[in-house]
Amino acid sequence: MSFQDKNVTIRCYSELNDRNCFKFYPCKNLGEKTTLDYVYKQSSLTLFYNDFNKLLSDYFKEIYPTLDPTDNQFVESFDVCFDNWIGKNDWLKIISRIEEKLNSEILPKEKQFYSDFLKWLKTNIEWCDLIMVEGNL
């Protein structure tokens, strides 16, 4: 799997027919810090709800409450139904925590999931200012 591909999907526990998911879109600011001034990279990541809930949700809970980097408004919690504009510093915290997890005893398929997620994040975090995560629940 190339993490430069336009659309990447990573699975661990999700089923092929799962529909509830999160899309990750790397974004770069081209002007003022408003959502209209961000451009999306031609690469996205899809993670399905079961995988996100089981393997990643705790890491996202750790960064909230946070500030939306597009308007500096306070955001209480991750929204599973809408857009979440997450800044680079928060992503670096998530990366660090997942790297710690990789050093513990975990199932091989979970280790592969975390490794693939980190590879995608690290590839894209170099280019972007933030990654917008859109939920469809």
Retrieve residue 10's tokens.
Answer: 């990573």
Q: What is the pTM of this model?
A: 0.89
Inter-CA distances, 111 with 2, 36, 57, 88, 114, Å: 18, 37, 16, 23, 5
Domains of the chain with bracketed CATH? 7-135 (3.40.1760)
Q: What is the pLDDT along the chain (137 residues), one digit of tens a residue?
A: 455 557 899 999 999 999 999 999 998 877 765 555 566 666 899 999 999 999 999 999 999 999 998 889 999 999 999 999 999 999 999 999 999 999 999 999 999 999 999 999 999 998 888 999 999 97
> Residue 134 forms beta bridges with which residues?
23, 83
